[in-house]
């Protein structure tokens, strides 16, 4: 990945995008003490910018009973439906041999079992929960994080740019404000919910969706050459908090500084 034969590379967010719910929040609500209140509080602080994604995850993981990871993963498998149209979208991408991966700020211990249960075999870029042998403690690892920035666990912007090539358009589909930096650097963005609101306010071009039907239809028109691929856009935002996005955008213009 990328495959030079494909004009596109597809990256799909997991919680709230490929699957219907935010699984991380469901697990906190279900398994943490006073979980519903805590999940709502952390979610509000995260999306209002009071805490970073890394801080949110650290708080949530500290509340989860790590000695029940297998039970939590099993519960997640049984309570996490795919978003409507997901299978048709993935079938289209497979038919056209479009390199596709899951790009998630969630955790590997529930993402992999859910995908396995659904019969979906895709590369996954996510944070990792590692249990310390014999101690019962858990360590939150960020194998795809930025080397210096600590805003996010996984640096979706860095990962997308690492998978990009001159011969392809990178396509990202996401739903949350934590997907904003991915949207800033992807060539083509499909957005719903909070990500749609962010793209509208920040001036990031996007295509809206709720279920995957419109995404599949539009990608099909491009892949079947019914419509030409959109022209490459200038990616990145000079005012972004994300260092990858700022670097791609270059220095702000005089007009922006005025």
Q: What is the pLDDT of residue 135?
A: 61
> What CA–CA distance (Å, rounded) separates 88 from 151?
34
User: Which stretches of the chain are DSSP H helices?
Assistant: 23-31, 35-47, 53-63, 69-78, 86-95, 108-118, 156-163, 180-185, 193-202, 213-223, 243-249, 254-257
User: What's the number of CA atoms in the CB half-sphere (13 Å) around residue 17?
Assistant: 29
Q: What is the pLDDT of residue 42?
A: 87
3-state SS assignment for residue 229: coil
Q: What is the pLDDT of residue 255?
A: 40
DSSP class of 49: T
Q: What is the pLDDT of residue 36?
A: 87
Burial readout 89-104 (b: 16 or more C-beta within 10 A, e: otherwise):
bbebbeebebbbbbbb
Q: What is the pLDDT of residue 40?
A: 87
- Ranked by mean pLDDT, the top range of 56-70, 80-94, 225-239, 241-255 is 80-94
Q: What is the pLDDT of residue 254?
A: 41
Please answer whether residues 100 and 8 qualify as being in contact, where contact means their C-beta atoms are separated by less than 8 angstroms: no
Q: What is the pTM of this model?
A: 0.92
DSSP class of 67: G
Q: What is the pLDDT of residue 1?
A: 47
pLDDT digits (tens, 9 = 90+) for 52-98: 888 988 888 888 898 899 999 999 999 999 999 999 999 999 999 99
Identify any residues that bridge with 91 across adjacent strands, giving them in sequence order: none
Burial readout 131-153 (b: 16 or more C-beta within 10 A, e: otherwise):
eeeeeeebebebebbbeebebbb
pLDDT digits (tens, 9 = 90+) for 164-207: 888 899 999 999 878 999 999 999 999 999 999 999 999 999 99
List the chain domain ranges: 8-231
Q: What is the pLDDT of residue 146?
A: 95
Residue 250: closest CA among 239, 81, 139, 173 = 239
Q: Taking residues 6-20, report their average pLDDT.
A: 97
Q: What is the pLDDT of residue 4?
A: 52
Q: Average pLDDT over the chain, rounded to whole?
A: 91
pLDDT digits (tens, 9 = 90+) for 27-50: 999 999 888 898 889 888 987 889
Q: For the chain, give the percent of residues with pLDDT over 90.
A: 72
pLDDT digits (tens, 9 = 90+) for 106-162: 999 999 999 999 999 999 999 999 987 766 678 899 999 999 999 999 999 999 999
Structure token digits, residue 252? 């702000």
> What CA–CA distance (Å, rounded) separates 76 from 69?
10
3-state SS assignment for residue 121: coil
Q: What is the pLDDT of residue 101?
A: 98
Q: How far apart are the first and last CA of the chain?
A: 42
Q: What is the pLDDT of residue 48?
A: 84
- 8-231 homologous superfamily: HAD superfamily/HAD-like (3.40.50.1000)
User: What's the number of CA atoms in the CB half-sphere (13 Å) around residue 65?
Assistant: 13
Q: What is the pLDDT of residue 59?
A: 86
């Amino acid at each position: 990945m990328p495959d030079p034969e494909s004009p596109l590379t597809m990256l799909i967010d997991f919680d709230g995008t490929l699957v219907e719910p935010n699984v991380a929040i469901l697990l906190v609500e279900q398994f943490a003490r006073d979980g519903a209140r805590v999940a709502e509080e952390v979610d509000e602080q995260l999306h209002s910018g009071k805490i970073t994604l890394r801080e949110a995850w650290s708080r949530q993981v500290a509340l989860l009973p790590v000695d029940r990871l297998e039970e939590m993963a099993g519960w997640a498998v049984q309570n996490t439906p795919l978003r409507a149209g997901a299978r048709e979208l993935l079938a289209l991408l497979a038919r056209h041999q479009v390199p596709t991966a899951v790009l998630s700020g969630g955790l590997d211990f529930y993402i992999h079992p859910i995908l396995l249960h659904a019969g979906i075999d895709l590369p996954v870029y996510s944070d990792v929960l590692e249990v310390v042998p014999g101690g019962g403690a858990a360590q939150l690892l960020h194998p795809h994080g930025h080397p210096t920035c600590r805003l996010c666990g996984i640096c979706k912007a860095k990962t997308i740019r690492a998978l990009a090539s001159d011969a392809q358009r990178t396509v990202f589909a996401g739903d949350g404000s934590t997907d904003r930096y991915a949207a800033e650097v992807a060539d083509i963005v499909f957005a719903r919910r909070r990500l749609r609101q962010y793209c509208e306010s920040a001036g990031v071009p996007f295509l809206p969706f709720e279920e995957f039907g419109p995404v599949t239809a539009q990608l099909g028109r491009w892949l079947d050459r019914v419509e030409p691929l959109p022209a490459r856009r200038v990616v990145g935002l000079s005012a972004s908090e994300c260092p990858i996005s700022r670097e791609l955008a270059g220095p702000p213009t005089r007009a922006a500084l005025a």
